[in-house]
A and B are shown apart, each in its own frame.
Chain A
Amino acid sequence: KQEVTQIPAALSVPEGENLVLNCSFTDSAIYNLQWFRQDPGKGLTSLLLIQSSQREQTSGRLNASLDKSSGRSTLYIAASQPGDSATYLCAAIETSGSRLTFGEGTQLTVNP
Chain B
Amino acid sequence: GAVVSQHPSWVICKSGTSVKIECRSLDFQATTMFWYRQFPKQSLMLMATSNEGSKATYEQGVEKDKFLINHASLTLSTLTVTSAHPEDSSFYICSAPKIPGKGGEQYFGPGTRLTVT
Interface residues, chain A, with chain B CB atoms under 8 Å away: 30-32, 34, 36, 41-44, 46, 49, 52, 89, 91, 93-105
Contact = CB atoms under 8 A, between A and B. Distances in A.
Contact of B111 (A30, A43, A97): A43
Contacts of B77: none
B43 A104 contact: yes
- Which of B101, B104, B109 gathers most chain A CB within 10 Å? B104
B43 A98 contact: no
- Which of A91, A96, A97, A104 gathers most chain B CB within 10 Å? A97
B103 A97 contact: yes
A104 B42 contact: yes
Range class of the B interface residue count:
20 to 34
B106 A93 contact: yes
Interface in B81-105: 91, 93, 95, 97, 100-105
Given A97-B103, A99-B49, A100-B95, A105 B43 contact: yes
Contacts of B104: 32, 98
29 contacts: A30-B103, A31-B102, A31-B103, A32-B104, A32-B105, A34-B105, A42-B110, A43-B93, A43-B110, A44-B44, A44-B93, A44-B108, A46-B1, A46-B108, A52-B103, A89-B44, A93-B103, A95-B103, A97-B49, A97-B100, A98-B32, A98-B102, A98-B103, A100-B34, A100-B95, A102-B45, A103-B43, A104-B42, A105-B43
B45 to A, nearest CB: 8
Contacts of A96: 101
B107 interface: yes
A22 B34 CA distance: 25
Contacts of A105: 43
Given A100-B34, A102-B43, A46 B105 contact: yes
Contacts of B103: 30-32, 52, 93-95, 97-98
Nearest to B97: A98
